[in-house]
A and B are shown apart, each in its own frame.
Chain A
Amino acid sequence: MNTDKQLLTKTNIVVVGNGMVGHHFVEEMAKNPNYQITVLSAESRLAYDRVHLSEYFGGKTADDLAMTTPEHYEELGVNFKTNAKVILIDKIVQYVTTENGETYHYDKLILATGSYPFVPPIPGKDQDHCLVYRTIDDLEDIANSAKVSKVGVVIGGGLLGLEAANAIKQLGLQTHVVEFAPQLMGVQIDGGGGRLLREKIEDLGVKVHTSKATNVIEKGDTSRYKLCFNDGSELETDLILFSAGIRPYDNLAREFELTLGERGGIVVNNQCQTSDENIYAIGECALWNNFIFGLVAPGYAMAKVVAKHIDGITGENGDIAEFTGADMSTKLKLMGVEVGSIGDAHGKTAGSLTYTYENQPEGVYKKIVVSADKKALLGAVLIGDTSEYDTLLQYMLNAIELPESPEGLILPMAADKPTLGVDALPESATICSCHNVTKGDIIASIDAGATTVGDVKSCTKAGSGCGGCAALVKSVADNEFEKRGVEVKKDICEHFAYSRREIFDIVSVEKIKTFDELLEKHGKGLGCEICKPVAGSVLASVWNDYILKKPHLSLQDTNDTYLGNMQKDGTYSVVPRIAGGEITPDKLIVLGEVANKYNLYTKITGGARVDLFGARVEQLPPIWKELVDAGFETGHAYGKSLRTVKSCVGSTWCRYGVQDSMSMAIDLENRYKGLRAPHKIKFGVSGCTRECAEAQGKDIGIIATDNGWNLYVAGNGGMKPRHADLFATDLDDETLVKYVDRILMFYVQTGDRLQRTSVWMDNLEGGLAYLQDVVMKDSLGITDVLETQMASIVGSYQCEWKTTIEDPEALKRFKPFVNSDKGDSNIQFVTEREQIRPARGQEKIEVTLIDTIENDTETADALAEEA
């Protein structure tokens, strides 16, 4: 082993600051085992997603925003310290010292200290309730202050200021924005755009004050404070939020003599080295070409360059990796207003020409800036509608020649709108700027075996930053799949050249009621174990017929046929529904009695119900008869359908609960039980943000708030955990159920076979925003249909077990042999921890004659139930 040698030769890299960029550097550098990385973070937590910081007010927690965990860093072999602000750099001996007096030697030092909010030197700025917007701690302060405030003012009307204004408005404050310049977002958009943006924002109830400089903050007359402006006017407010720009954290560089820019920022070269060759600076503290980049994507690019430079990796043609600047175009939604800014938005390039389109009634403003010869796009401003953003950006980034009449690019009804096919993009075109993924990278990932858009995303990381590129990534990938004739093949099997969704459409449109009819009209052969259950599930969703009716019987998996989960020895498990996990003592006793009588292995599942294992086929009907008589219903543990709604007791019992989560959970479980879907569905309902029901790991998650319910979708635990997406906040009961109806029905219609909601969401073109549009804005005009379908399914629910035990024909199937009353001699049990379990090979005894053996067991399914 050469570990000792490796230890000795490992290069020590110390990273100061664990913001988004510092963290990205760690991820890049840790790929290479020859380096020992130490991270020193001034904040109390490891890196989190600052770009999505505002979602903290939308219900996301610090954990949700986290970009890494201590465990993950440990896995990477990275040393780290939080609350470890660096206060000293010794460039000669090469070490740094933290506030706590700890010292770390470095071979290479990375400054990724980011920036801090600039607070203008206004007298009175240092009082309580005068806050900034940069860290999670800041947001906690704002939330606390908002609780005792009525009016809030944001000083600064730039991009971040408007985001902050939105946040305090959501916290229920009467909101004002004060801007020194004559317009909002002066950096990114022009006067025309600024005017429209202001109108739109004022329509939303935020007061905008432009051309105002604040002289002093004084004690207020009606509120806590008042701002006194230089024009003599005043504004009363309780909370003040400064968002007047950012300043690089360059104090270390200043004190320890690294070259700084005139107006601050640590000067770096194209390799991001500072004036000391062993010290690099990346992210928002670095000044490159006299410019500070206030976005993550350029910071990530710098991080990559440094990782390569340290490792001495040269480019393909022998060049040393270089940072060559970055595009600062942005697209975002501010208080629901779409805003896009590309390149030279102000038309400052000499000789440039502009085209402007404005539609006041609709609140849309678009401008493009083109070169004097009208061949190249230089910049653009889009307000109110950013649908052309991707196309315009690609024109600019790739210097693609503009069409004859460039105005067609932004005119709404231009006859043959020149949309830029992804085919036209060069391989070097950047598709995802957050992770610097080019069209060529996407193609390479497909060459390397990616077969779905999901694969492409996980190989290249495209789309996992701001998410703005998701639609483009998908069309580039799909285009490539199509070209290769991989022809995004969705045929479910050799018998049907259709996806589940297409089969769903065929069945509903042609009113097909049996598999035979479907096979005859649209398939071939005899069908198989793939298409038959799909057809069964679709027929059940569309017509909700009793699943064991003759024509459907042969379509069901054994689990659906015998209404239980088959275990490894051929016995079944019995899982009655216990809605929300609430059960009376009497019913609990019945479960115990039945389990005793039939000698069933008994286990409590992760879904808060009781699983009884080891029932032989012939025992299922008598067991279920007893259960149904005692008021139980089937739990559908065997079906691709609603499993459980996990919940806590909520405001009824819990000291912290804010809503009655128990009643909500039971109502929801009873509403959706029996619904057939592409895969199983789980819900969670928590009575407060402590989230005891782990709702954010469920397909549908609901968390009580003071004002109603927050709705989460597409979470998953199990094999591939996925954190649910926040779908809507503060819903009342009725709206909540309405949205869930629509979401579930849309999933039932469009999901692929065996696709959980998590994967469905990841593959949904347009993602969460698209689903929100479909469900909340009815963008497809189908919400009525979805609700009607759900109503009919809910209305025609029947307990399959009740129906079965009342039908002598159906009961015939539970006879083990058509010509004998014996049982299966291969099913044998032994006792373990006072219960049965299946006998293993050598434990089995040769038996030929058995009339009724006692009973049986199994395990694998308790797991399936929990996953």
Chain B
Amino acid sequence: MNWVLVPQAVVTGILNGGVIGLIALGVVMIYKSSEIFNFSQGHLLTLGVFLTWWFAGAKETGDELFNLPLVFAVLAAFIIAALIGFIIERVALRPMAGQPLLSIILMTLGLAQLLEGVINLTFGVQPRSNFPAPFPATESFKIPFSLAFNETIFLRKTLVATFIVAMLGTALLILFFRFTRTGLAMRATAEDHELARSIGISVPRVFGLSWAIAGIVAAAGGVLLAMQIGASPTLSTVVLVAFPAILLGGLESLPGAIIGGIAVGLAQGLVGASSLVVIRNSAAIAPYVLLLIIMFIRPEGLFGQKRIERI
């Protein structure tokens, strides 16, 4: 371990984890309402990124459709992402009701492939580094800290802003589920479909809605991610680290997703501070190794509930 690098790694790791958590949240939301694990979330995210990029305009390339300010571009992307989420649920997932787990997993994997092709076709395959961001990616706050490298911890402004927005988004979602009528209906559906139906909740509407919201959450996470690493079709694979975060948290817990995300960010940060090259190269698999360890210690995840099976 390179100890002087650890403080920076911890801080960056946690900040990165916020976005991973937000991305994980989108998957957990769908899972909670409909028990579908959406493997295409990464591609929804990439789609959201490119839509934003499209609306906001890429000044150098002339590929832009509109030259909207970032905020409006994001809003426009949200609307379309929600719509796409809604349509996906209606067209692809609804016919799958009652099918075995494998079929449903494969459906979202097939969907991911389809979206990948569509993204490649419409936006091209080359990465775009000119994603609009409120601050230049290099600006940072400098915090003096005696144990850190050069006695300073650097906080990149985009990263801090990203983390704050991710946390705000999460809080907003949790409040939505606690206090709004729709949110409560969605929670009731998550608990028990039959019961929800019997008290007059339209279960299909809730499914559609949760996919629409998941589309927005994905786009939001994607935009935050793209502000740091640019827009590219490979964003969908960057997102693969969000999957272990979900299981670490326990698959059905919203706060669990965030904590899982932070755990993943932290694990990735810490391996980066290692003095061994091999370990430093393991940022992409660190979350999965962590996941395997947790599976043996606490198979239901950190916040999941242990269920005793019945027969």
Q: Say whether A and B bind each other.
A: no
A residues with CB within 8 A of B: none
B residues with CB within 8 A of A: none
